[in-house]
Each structure stands twice: as structure tokens, then as C-alpha cells.
Amino acid sequence: MATTGKSAAVSHVGKIRSNNQDSGYAGQYLFVVADGMGGHAGGDVASAIAVKRITETDRLYTSANDAEFALQAALLAANSLLAETVFEHGELTGMGTTVSAILRVGDHVALAHIGDSRVYLYRDGELKQITSDHTFVQRLVDSGRITPEEAAVHPRRSVLMRVLGDVDASPEIDTTVLETKPGDRWLLCSDGLSSYVSEDKLLNTLSTVPAAQAAADRLVKESLDQGAPDNVTVVLVDIDDSDDSSTTPPLTVGSAASPLVFEADSVRRPLRLPSLLLHPLKATQTDDSHFEPESDEYLNALIAEDRRRALRRRIWWLVFIAIAVAAITAAVILGYQYTQRQYFVGVSDGRVAIFQGVQQDIGPISLSHVYKQTTIDLDDLPLYQRDTVTATINADSLADAQRIVDQLSDDRQP
């Protein structure tokens, strides 16, 4: 089995954002994706600091558990580093970053994860999401309040419950050790990919594009094809049986690939703490500086707000439906009233009759009825008039209809 081209890292600013707040790393044993957030400059700084710190763990460990411990320690160290950076650069207050990382040790990988970037495993033709999003909507899914389908389109789907940053001195990081085997393909990505490209498409690309670089490029292109509203970062690693490390030279992409810049923007107002939990586009400013990301109080407040929004939406729908029903009813009534001001002359029971309404029927509903039956037998009329009356004669008014009847009466054959 080939040992070259086993990993790839690609990061793209996307089609809407002005800067790339994602960072990615594909090293010898370590693979990382980080998605920064927090203001104009904070996001790129946060993901870059975290990735640069975590890349220090890119070496061979004697056991997967050692690697797991090293990864967790690196994420915690990155968290402290972010807090220190904010302490020295107040303008960066509120910056934070997701981190999803795997560290390979032979036939195992150690994994560390916080936030909503994702790790997927493609194995034997199937794609499995390994990490769980630390988002508000994932909490709602886990507690059975909404379905995964509802979560995918939920207005608060990008609200994060956990990140690395300056909020929590000991953030809760998911870590685990998993087995891996030749043929496995590990995909790490920011939500710029997973929020816009369906799992079916991810699976299709991973199963049909053999080279890691080509597959990573294709995945990024698929996000761009969807409009790429967000930065998109893809790190891909193929496991084979000849070696336990990647033979591709280590590659850093995204904001971590550039030198760190701490220039304060004098007009930028510092972001307050809760904005840390929102992606930059949705950042809001509040003065709550004692915010706890995992607090039940906040979660309950979000859930309550969510319910209110659902209720408002339902009320708007009911109002809309009521207005629509009223409009349709009014149209039907006005239409029917219109038809009942129309008259025509036709035949009923073999005799000439004045009808009120219009000749057309709507399905089984007749829009006309006999208004006045005359004593004029159809058979008494001249032949050409029988046909005309049978086909009905439109009248401009009731008086006009009466005039037509009088005329027919006069035309009767003796």
C-alpha cells in the first residue's frame, strides 16, 4: 500500500467572510481543526494560538492513553494561553475557539474535542460522526426536545455551549481513544463544511476520491458551491498499514499559517463574555461578565426563548391562515352574489324558463336555478329558436330576460 499523500489540510475564507478565523494542521501524528470566534480579529488569533500550542504534541507516544492525556493537557494549556492573551490584550476579550484533534498512535487514535467542529470516520463504505457538537441545539436533540432534522435548520444552531477561551478556567473537553485500521479515512472539519454540505455528499466524496489532497479539495469546493457563508477547513488523513505516521510534510493552514497580529482596533468595542458563545456574525453584546457557559440557568433561558419564538411563529401562522380563510370566504361570497345578479333564458321541463345565475357549474355545484317558469312549450317555437333557447340566451337583466320571453311568446307558432 502506498505511503505517500496520506493526509491533506485545506482552509478557505469562504465567499462571505473577510477573514479566515479557522486554523488547521495536518502533521506527522497529529491532525487538528480549530474554528475561532469573537469579533473582527479575535477569532483568527484564538484558533491560531490554540493550534500552534497543540501542534507541540505532534510526536510519537508510547501508548494511546499517553497521547490522550497529552492532547487534553495541550487543549487546557491553550485555554490558559487564550486567557493570558486576553489579559494582555483587552481588545480580544470574548475570543474563543473550537478544537477537534486526533493524535495517532499505531492502530489507535487519541481524540480531544470541544465546540462544534467535527471528526468523522469513513470506514468500510460508511461515514460516522465521531464527535458530538457542544451546541445549544445538540443539547435540545439529546434531551429529546427537537429532532436532528429540526436542529439542522434551527435559528440558534451555531450557539456554542463550550469552547476554549477566556471564560472558563477548566473547560470540559471530550477525550477518547479509538481503534483505527488500514483503509480508515479520518475527516476533521469546521462547521463551514458540515453545516452546508450534507453527510451524503461527504460520504460520496470520501468514497469516490482516493487521494487525500484531491478529496479535501473537493470537499472545500462543495462548500463553496453551496455559497460558503463561513470559513471552511478540512483536514483529512488516510490510515494505511505500512507506517504509523503520515509521510506528508506537516502543513498548517488558515489563520495559524500567518504570524499572529495583536493590533488593537481603536474603534472596535470590546466584546463582552456571552458573545463568546455565539459565532461572530451573531455576536451580541451584553454586560454580563459572570457568565457560565454550562449553567442550567442560561440553558433554561435559551430554551424559554426558543419556546417563545416557536409560539410567536405559530401565532403568526394562525393569523396568516385566518386572514387567508377570510379572504377566500369573502371572494366566494362576492363571486356567488355576482352570479345571482345574472339572468338567462333556457329550457326547464320542456318549457321556456328564466334562470337566475350563470350557466357554468363548479364541479357538482350549480350556479343557477329556475327563477320563473313560463307556459311557453319549447315545441311551439320555430325550429331555429328551439336550438337557440336550448343553448340558453344571456340576458343583461331580469327585465331583459322578460323581454326575451315576451318575444318568444309572440313568435310561438299557432
Q: Rounded to the nearest whole angstrom, what is the least distance from the CB of residue 13 to Ca ion in the complex?
A: 11
Are the beta carbons of 97 and 81 closer than 8 angstroms? no
Q: Rounded to the nearest whole angstrom, what is the least distance from the CB of residue 195 to Ca ion in the complex?
A: 8
Binding to Ca ion, residues 92-111 (CB under 5 A): none
Binding to Ca ion, residues 216-255 (CB under 5 A): 230
CA distance linking residue 109 with residue 121, whole number of Å: 11
CA distance linking residue 402 with residue 385, whole number of Å: 16
Q: Which CB sits closer to Ca ion, 191 or 222?
A: 191
Q: Rounded to the nearest whole angstrom, what is the least distance from the CB of residue 117 to Ca ion in the complex?
A: 8
Q: Per-residue DSSP letters for 102-120?
A: EEEETTEEEEEEESS-EEE
Q: Which CB sits closer to Ca ion, 276 or 354?
A: 276
Q: Rounded to the nearest whole angstrom, what is the least distance from the CB of residue 241 to Ca ion in the complex?
A: 35
Closest CA to 202 of 221, 185, 219: 219
Binding to Ca ion, residues 279-318 (CB under 5 A): none
Binding to Ca ion, residues 186-205 (CB under 5 A): 190-192
- Starting at the edge strand that comes first in sequence, how are the strands of the sheet with 7-12 ordered? 7-12, 232-238, 185-189, 118-123, 126-129
Q: Which CB sits closer to Ca ion, 35 or 133?
A: 35
Strands (E), 146-241: 164-165, 174-179, 185-189, 232-238
Reduced to 3 states, what is the DSSP secondary structure of residue 168? coil
Q: Rounded to the nearest whole angstrom, what is the least distance from the CB of residue 42 to Ca ion in the complex?
A: 14
Please give the size of the binding site for Ca ion, defined by CB under 5 A.
5
Q: Which CB sits closer to Ca ion, 6 or 279?
A: 279
CA distance linking residue 333 with residue 353, whole number of Å: 26
Q: Which CB sits closer to Ca ion, 184 or 191?
A: 191
Q: Rounded to the nearest whole angstrom, what is the least distance from the CB of residue 249 to Ca ion in the complex?
A: 27
Binding to Ca ion, residues 33-52 (CB under 5 A): 35
Are the beta carbons of 33 and 47 closer than 8 angstroms? no
Reduced to 3 states, what is the DSSP secondary structure of residue 191? helix
Contacts with Ca ion, residue ranges (CB under 5 A): 35, 190-192, 230
